[in-house]
Chain A
Amino acid sequence: ETGVTQTPRHLVMGMTNKKSLKCEQHLGHNAMYWYKQSAKKPLELMFVYNFKEQTENNSVPSRFSPECPNSSHLFLHLHTLQPEDSALYLCASSQVGSTAGELFFGEGSRLTVL
């Protein structure tokens, strides 16, 4: 396994369902992120975890609930979503303190809410 792995790649759910997105990074990084990417909009930062502690929560609705059990794993728990939540959800990792601070992204989970 290399890089950042996201599962599932595609998810269709009804508004009353509960599901989870999973992200795993194999890079030894100490920070992990969830981004939302909608058509014709910039990447929107949702959550940041540095050393497993949540440091950013950009006014994300409570129907999205992150969990970071260790520095390699990140989850996004979804419940009672709305159709406008349909988007590509991207997980990323980085090494805090590195000069470049570049993000390494997974392939994304394409979510469709019916």
Chain B
Amino acid sequence: SQKIEQNSEALNIQEGKTATLTCNYTNYSPAYLQWYRQDPGRGPVFLLLIRENEKEKRKERLKVTFDTTLKQSLFHITASQPADSATYLCALLSGNTPLVFGKGTRLSVIA
């Protein structure tokens, strides 16, 4: 069956450290993988997209990698700040199906 899994439900890290979130998928051949941020009581906000032929994408303190052999994407936040605390969702676009989302990882950055 097709699955998209974000391995950690919750992740706590110290301010200033790098947060690394994982997204794994099975039985998909995604053309794109996207990451969203969701704050409590709010809708998700798009952060980054990475294509199947790209290994890495950066935006300010954010970095996303995509390994189609491992069927995995990693999402990094460097020099993390308490304001980065939120739930981060990965989503993939495969064939003609609409975006499929993972459950999300709730990140807490502790000052």
A residues bordering B, Cβ < 8 Å? 4, 33, 40-43, 45, 48, 56, 90, 92, 100-108, 110
Taking CB atoms and an 8 Å cut-off, the chain B residues in 33-75 that contact chain A are: 34, 36, 41-46, 49
Q: CA separation between A105 and B46, bound complex, in Å?
A: 9
Q: Which residues of B contact A101 (CB under 8 A)?
A: 32, 34, 49, 93, 99
Q: Are A100 and B4 in contact (CB under 8 A)?
A: no
Q: Which residues of B contact A33 (CB under 8 A)?
A: 98
Q: CA separation between A92 and B91, bound complex, in Å?
A: 14
Q: Are B103 and A41 in contact (CB under 8 A)?
A: yes
In this complex, the interface size class of chain B, counting residues with CB under 8 Å from chain A, is 20 to 34
Taking CB atoms and an 8 Å cut-off, the chain B residues in 84-107 that contact chain A are: 89, 93, 98-104
Q: Which residues of B contact A106 (CB under 8 A)?
A: 43
**Nearest Cβ distance between residue B43 and chain A, in whole angstroms?**
3
12 A-B contacts (beta carbon < 8 Å)? A41-B103, A42-B100, A42-B103, A45-B100, A100-B32, A100-B46, A101-B93, A103-B36, A103-B44, A103-B46, A104-B46, A105-B44
Q: Which residue of A has the minimal Cβ distance to B6?
A: A42
**Nearest Cβ distance between residue B44 and chain A, in whole angstroms?**
5
